[in-house]
Amino acid sequence: MSRLPDPGGPVYCEEFPVPPQAVDVNGHVNNVVYVQWMQDMAVHHSDAVGGTRAMSEAGGRWVVRAHRVEYLAPAFEGDRIRVATWVADFRRVRSLRRYRFERASDGLLLARGETDWVFVDAATGRPRTVPDDLRRRFPLHAAAGPEAGE
């Protein structure tokens, strides 16, 4: 995966080719692969801004409450996919992260999604307040959500 430039903004981007193992019997990227890419992008974004380290130092972990994905067009082996992700909001113990998947060659929107994350205590697994230091690492981005028909 190659990271696209992001000059300190709230949106994190990467671009990569669709590998053969991402393609299912229908000849296009399997829906489960998009969920894996969402997970990977959240971790990469967190690593890039020091969020993973801050999370560990705070004794917490993020766990998924819900994923939502809307599939709009198929992607195929060898297509270059551009993925953007950002944090849309923070609540006391939760955070909403959004994603856009585009074909790099023509900018076609392939899918969009969101994940509702819950911050939990690493030792007990119980929800806990998202620390301010962690919140500050992810400036909110007010882009429209998947349901808005971007």
Domain assignment present for 147:
no
Confidence of residue 145 (pLDDT cuts 50, 70, 90): low
* Domain contains 30: yes
pLDDT at 21 over 70: yes
**Residue 25 belongs to some domain of the structure:** yes
Q: CA–CA separation, 81 vs 83, rounded Å?
A: 6
Higher per-residue pLDDT: 146 or 53: 53
In a domain, 108, yes or no: yes
The secondary structure element, H or E, covering residue 124 is none
**Residue 142 pLDDT grade (very low, low, confident, very high; cuts 50, 70, 90):** confident
Domain that holds residue 31: 2-142
Q: What are phi and psi of 16, to 5 degrees?
A: -160, 160
- What's the CATH code of the domain at 15? 3.10.129.10
Higher pLDDT, 5 or 138: 138
- Residue 115 domain-assigned? yes
Average pLDDT of the residues in 46-65: 96
pTM of the model: 0.88
Q: Is residue 149 part of a domain?
A: no
Domain count, the chain: 1
